[in-house]
Amino acid sequence: MGEHLSSLWLRVQDLRWRRIALASFLVLFVVMAVPPLRRVVAAAASRVVLVVVSPFAPSISGFDDLPQASKSIDNPQPSGAPLVFLVKEVQADWVNVFLPIRPNGSTGWVKRSDVKLSQHDWRIVVETGSHQITVYQGANVFLQEPIAVGKQDTPTPGGVYYIKELLKPPNPNTVYGPYAYGLSGFSNVLTDFNGGEGVIGIHGNNDASVLGHDVSHGCIRMSNPGITKLVSVLPLGVPVQIKST
C-alpha cells in the first residue's frame, strides 16, 4: 500500500480475535490444488516460527540441517495479530506457505506436525481495471462493490495474497476509514512509506467520491459500510487475488 498500517492503528478489540492472539497461534490457511469451496486452516502455538526458504520440500527431519536456508518469523506480529500464512500446498510432513515478506510471492516450508487443521470457505477477488471487489463465501457472492486502487505511479500490485491482520484506526474519519486489513503483499514501487515497509491493504475511506478511481498509494479503498460488514465475518488468512490490468 504505501499507507503504513501498523504504525497508525490500534489492534481491533474483537473478543474472538483476541483469544487467538493471546494464545499466540500461528494460523495457516490452505488453498487446495483443485479449488474447493472450503479452505483448510492449520493452527499451531509457537512464538517464533522457523521457515525453510526453498522452492523444494525439505527432505530432512528438522530445520537445523539448513541454517542458511531457514528464516525465523516472530509470532504475534508487531501489531499484536497472530502470525498467519496462506498455504500453497502440502507434501508429506511439510506445508508450503506464502510468506508476508518481500519479494511478493515468496514461499517457504513449515513442519506439518506443528499445525492443526480446520476450515473456512472465504475468498476475495479484486479487479483493478473494473475497480471492483467481490467477496465469496463458498460459491455465493457475499459482497460486491466499487473500490479505489493505486495511482498510475503507485499501482496496486497484482498477485495472490492473504489477509494477515485486522487493524482499527484510532480515528475512523481519516483516509483509512473505520477498519483496515493488512495484506501479505507490498508495493512494487514504494520500499517504505511513513516509516513503514509499503505494505498494501484493504481499508475504508473518508471520501466516497474516490471509489471507482485510481487514487491511492497502492491500497484498496472500499466503502465504510462494506468493510464494516466484512469485519463481522472474515477470519484472518482469507486469500486475496488481485487481478491487475
**Which residues have a catalytic role annotated?**
203, 219
Tell me the pairing of strands 48-52 and 70-74: antiparallel
What gap in Å lies between CA 30 and CA 18, rounded to an integer?
22
List Cβ neighbours of 7 (8 Å cut-off, separation of 6 or more).
194, 195, 196
Neighbours of 195 (CB within 10 A): 9
- What is the H or E stretch that residue 229 is in? helix 224-231
User: Cα dist. 140→90, 122, 137, 231 in Å?
Assistant: 27, 10, 5, 18
- Say if CB 3 and CB 217 are below 8 A apart: yes
Among the listed residues 238, 230, 234, 188, the one whose alpha carbon sits nearest the alpha carbon of residue 87:
238
What gap in Å lies between CA 236 and CA 226, rounded to an integer?
17
Cα angle value 84/4/81 (rounded, 5°): 25
